[in-house]
Each structure stands twice: as structure tokens, then as C-alpha cells.
A and B are shown apart, each in its own frame.
Chain A
Amino acid sequence: DTAVSQTPKYLVTQMGNDKSIKCEQNLGHDTMYWYKQDSKKFLKIMFSYNNKELIINETVPNRFSPKSPDKAHLNLHINSLELGDSAVYFCASSQDDNEQFFGPGTRLTVL
């Protein structure tokens, strides 16, 4: 029983397309996150979300939008994909001030 799961694991698509990545956590955590890991393995926070507020990293283009249908899910929608969006995207969750649990990642390749 995976704590934080993501689908798909791999996503290959053309420039200009719109795609979504799904994330689910079964830990009962209040806060979920999306991180981007670039080709140099640098990790950067994109969004954090709980049932009260969405915090957006100011460097994230507005083509990226998180959608949370319920407390256990935080999906990532990306419009008009660009070459520079190619990366590994990680979902994570945490409760209060405790550590974050990460999903296995989704490798996005934009052609």
C-alpha cells in the first residue's frame, strides 16, 4: 500500500499539448506539494496546498495549475507544454510541521 502515488510514471508528449499528472496520498495528511526536478537534479517547490490555502512559487508559469478534488488528491495540470517543461515532477505530502513523504515521480518528456 503505497503512501504517495503518482500516475503516470512516464509521460511523453508533443509541444503545445495539455497534460495532467495525478497524485494521491493515503496518509491522511493535510498538506500536499508539487516539486520539479530538472535535468541537473535540482529540486524546486512549485505549489503547496491544504484545505485552506494554495501557495504558489512565483517562478511557476501560470500554464501550471494544481487541482485538488479532495484532501487526498492534488493533480497537476499543464497547458501548452514547452520543451523546458521536461523534468521529473514529484508529489509530496505532510502533516503539520512533520517531514514530507514523496511519491515516485513522473518523468515528463516534451518533444
Chain B
Amino acid sequence: AQSVTQLGSHVSVSEGALVLLRCNYSSSVPPYLFWYVQYPNQGLQLLLKYTTGATLVKGINGFEAEFKKSETSFHLTKPSAHMSDAAEYFCAVRYSGGGADGLTFGKGTHLIIQP
């Protein structure tokens, strides 16, 4: 069985400050990891993904994440927050070959950007 834990249901940062959203996973087989963003009243948009290869993954809107197997983590970062980054962020996992099983999501982190 696989699971995802996102630490902090709400994270507040100042505009221009570092954004760090934490995600830890549990999986008995090598995982595929994803970060999605959801703006109010909209669907989910893929920010970035890790499947194999380079453990530092760059995504859209200046976000990146690093897969650390030893820590079972896939934390999302952005060097400088922008007001438009305010949204709900979801970490998700599935395993290779498990596409038909769907994604297992964390509970989400609401990112608040203070001016």
C-alpha cells in the first residue's frame, strides 16, 4: 500500500520569500511522484513529476522538487514566492506500472502569500 503525508495543511510566506512544501511518501516499490496545483474553483494542474533519472526535478512557474529516497521525501520549493502562487498544492504517488490504479494524494497544503 502507498500513502502520502503533507506536513502543514496551511503554509504562509511573504512575497519574495522561499516556499517549502513538504511531502513524504510510503511505498513498497519505487514510486512515481507528482506535485499538482489547484487554483480556486479549478481542476488540478501538474507542476512537476519524478519517475526515474535525475532526482532534482524542475517544473512550471519556477517550482522544483527533489526526490530523496533515503528520506522518502519529495519536497516542493520555489526560491521567491509570488502572489499568484497562492493555491492548494497536492503531492501524489503511484508506482511504476500502476497507472491504472490511479494516484494516491496527500491531504493538500494551502499556500498563503502575504504581501
Bound-state CA distance A1–B93 (Å) is 28
Q: Is B99 an interface residue (CB 8 A)?
A: yes
A90 / chain B contacts, CB cutoff of 8 Å: 43-44
Q: Is A27 an interface residue (CB 8 A)?
A: no
B97 with A41: CB separation less than 8 A: no
**In chain B, what residue has the closest Cβ to A45?**
B102
Interface size in chain B (residues, C-beta < 8 A) = 25
Interface size in chain A (residues, C-beta < 8 A) = 28
**Cβ-neighbour of A96 out of B49, B99, B101, B105 (below 8 A):** B99
A31 / chain B contacts, CB cutoff of 8 Å: 99-100
B-side residues, CB < 8 A to A, are 32, 34, 36, 38, 41-46, 49, 51, 88, 90, 96-97, 99-105, 107-108
**Can you report 10 residue pairs joining A to B where beta carbons are below 8 Å apart?**
A41-B38, A45-B103, A45-B104, A48-B101, A55-B101, A90-B44, A97-B32, A97-B97, A101-B46, A105-B41
A-side residues, CB < 8 A to B, are 4, 31, 33, 35, 40-45, 48, 50, 53, 55, 57, 90, 92, 94, 96-105
